[in-house]
Each structure stands twice: as structure tokens, then as C-alpha cells.
Amino acid sequence: MRTGCNRALYETDNVKDYDVVWIDDFLDRLMVPKENVQDADPNAVSIFTLSKVIYDFIQQSGLPRVSSRDIGRYLKQIKVANNSLLDEMKQSYGGLYQFLVVSGCFDVVKQSTRDKRLARRVDPTDKTFW
């Protein structure tokens, strides 16, 4: 945007390969009104709220990492309207793993097929992640 760009970047010779394209000139095409806002689910839980609940749970656990099963069990205990928070997450975001990846707030690590700490094989059908 024009107001956020250093003038030296677009006025100095040999600094740019192409003419500057200002996003300001295309805002009317890029910004479209939200449709069906009145049809939106008023009970939907925001990414911020879900992230905060998960973050607080991890902090309270005192552990360096928390399993997806522990988070799922915790979210299942919290009720929102007539559903659990886990059910709301599944409905709105497709599940815990999808939410964590989309939100980008957490590091998600899949469990390997060999747990080195316990020196044992882990069930490959186990979908647990940390």
C-alpha cells in the first residue's frame, strides 16, 4: 500500500525490476462483502477462543508437550450451548489436527512409529500427535 512503502524503494533507479503495483488501486476488486452473515452460526467458536483454551490447558499441564488425546478429552468436558467444545471444533474446523494446523499457533508433531524414550514399537494405526 502506498502509505506503507518506503519511497526509496519505488523512486530510486535500479532498485526495482518492475513497475510498482499498488494494492490500493485494486481494493474494490479484492474486497467483497461477506455473504450470508445473518446465516452464520452464532454458536461458532472463534479461532482465538479455541487457541486460548488449548494454550491455557497446555500451560496448566506443566508438561513440555501434550498429546492430542489429552487435549481432546479436555475439550470434550467444556460445554458450549448443547455441544462440547471438541464437537464445535470438529463441526467448524474439521477436527483438532486441522484446527491446530490452520491456526498456526502451535507446533504439531506426529508420533513416530518408534518411541525412543520407551524403546518400544508404537501402533502404526495410532493417530496421536503432540
Element (H, E) at 120: strand 120-121
Could you give the 3-state DSSP secondary structure of residue 90? helix
Residue 37: per-residue pLDDT: 46
**Cβ–Cβ under 8 Å, residues 85 and 75:** yes
- Cβ(22)–Cβ(1) below 8 Å: yes
| DSSP secondary structure string for all residues of 31-65 | --PPS-GGGS-TTPPPHHHHHHHHHHHHHHH--S-
Would residue 111 be called left, alpha or beta, if left means φ above 0 and alpha means ψ between -120 and 50 degrees?
beta
Residue pLDDT, tens place only, 96-120:
888 887 777 777 777 554 445 544 4
pLDDT, tens digit, 9 for 90 and up, residues 13-71: 777 777 778 888 887 777 766 555 455 555 567 888 888 888 898 889 888 778 888 88
Q: Do the beta carbons of residue 76 and residue 86 sit within 8 Å?
A: yes
- Decide: pTM greater than 0.75: no
Is residue 12 within 8 A of residue 34, CB to CB? The reply is: no
Residue 9 per-residue DSSP state: H
